[in-house]
């Protein structure tokens, strides 16, 4: 029941030309990821709930499908990156979903940040139908997606990971196999936990600099190169300083991720006070209408103290 992917002579390696690719979810992240596949001469069948978000891709050669079912019937290797676990449930298990209509020996790769439990369910149900499944959530935001430098954390069968690695390399660089089904999602929770409290520190450092009468851009030059340096500090502070709160990653999706992490931690009897605080702060911003802004909009939390 294995899909054997032989090398394809292009920049990234690749899959055999007879293997077609499906991609469901062409939002902030997915749009760039599909474009990378197209740029490397892959045939890509796409579906998105809002077709208008996929028009550029269609013009560039992607083939539009009317449902996940249509993608499943056309493609051998299918990526999904949607919003919430309930979206994943619908895409995979709905009447027009991937699992009811997937082809034998096809490979499904869910790149949504979802629950480890759901990842295991997809894996087990796929196995019953001769379908291989990986959970492969990503980190790097819109910048990583555009540049093809995403970090990808993968759970599932290691041989399937090895077989599919050349194509995932089209849009990722730091691609690591984490273990059995669900391990990719657990690793993404570690990632989100680290980001959540780091974003608080980044914003607190920025508001402190302003209160102290410092030039935040000059401060950034010093602290980003030292022990305080982080991806969020280097990439989000410039956006904050320019008033750019557009989403590389939506606040509403980050809240979803933090809820998943806290629920998983509770199952393990593990307290995560820093994460709980970050979730509370972001929820307050969401209540104020900031849920569709990027996570860097956390800086607005301090507006109430001015």
Residue 8 and residue 42 in contact, taking contact as beta carbons nearer than 8 Å: no
Catalytic residue of the set 31, 121, 188, 256:
188
Residues whose CB falls within 8 Å of the CB of residue 87, separated by 6 or more in sequence, listed in order: 112
Annotation marks residue 188 as catalytic: yes
d(CA 90, CA 101): 13
Catalytic residues, by residue number, are 188
């Amino acid at each position: 029941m294995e899909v054997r992917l032989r090398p394809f002579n292009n920049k990234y390696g690749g899959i055999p030309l007879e293997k077609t690719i499906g991609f469901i979810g062409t939002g902030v992240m997915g749009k760039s990821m599909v474009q990378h596949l197209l740029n490397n001469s892959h045939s890509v069948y796409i579906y998105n709930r809002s077709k208008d978000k996929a028009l550029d891709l269609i013009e560039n050669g992607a083939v539009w499908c009317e449902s996940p079912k249509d993608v499943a019937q056309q493609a051998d290797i299918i990526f999904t990156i949607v919003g919430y676990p309930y979206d994943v449930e619908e895409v995979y298990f709905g009447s027009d979903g991937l699992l009811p209509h997937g082809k034998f020996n096809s490979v499904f790769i869910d790149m949504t940040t979802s629950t480890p439990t759901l990842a295991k369910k997809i894996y087990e149900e796929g196995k019953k139908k001769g379908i291989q499944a990986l959970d492969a959530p990503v980190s790097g935001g819109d910048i990583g997606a555009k540049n093809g430098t995403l970090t990808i954390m993968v759970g599932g069968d290691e041989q399937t990971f090895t077989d599919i690695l050349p194509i995932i390399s089209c849009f990722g660089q730091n691609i690591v196999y984490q273990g059995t089904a669900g391990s990719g999602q657990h690793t993404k929770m570690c990632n989100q936990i680290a980001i959540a409290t780091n974003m608080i520190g980044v914003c607190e450092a920025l508001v402190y600099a302003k209160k102290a009468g410092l030039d935040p851009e000059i401060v950034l030059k010093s602290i980003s190169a030292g022990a305080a340096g982080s991806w969020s500090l280097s990439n989000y502070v410039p956006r904050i300083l320019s008033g750019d709160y557009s989403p590389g990653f939506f606040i509403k999706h980050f809240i979803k991720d933090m809820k998943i992490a806290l629920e998983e931690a509770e199952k393990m009897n593990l307290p995560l006070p820093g994460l709980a605080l970050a979730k509370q702060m972001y929820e307050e911003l969401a209540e104020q209408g900031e849920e569709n802004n990027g996570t860097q909009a956390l800086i607005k939390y301090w507006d109430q103290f001015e």
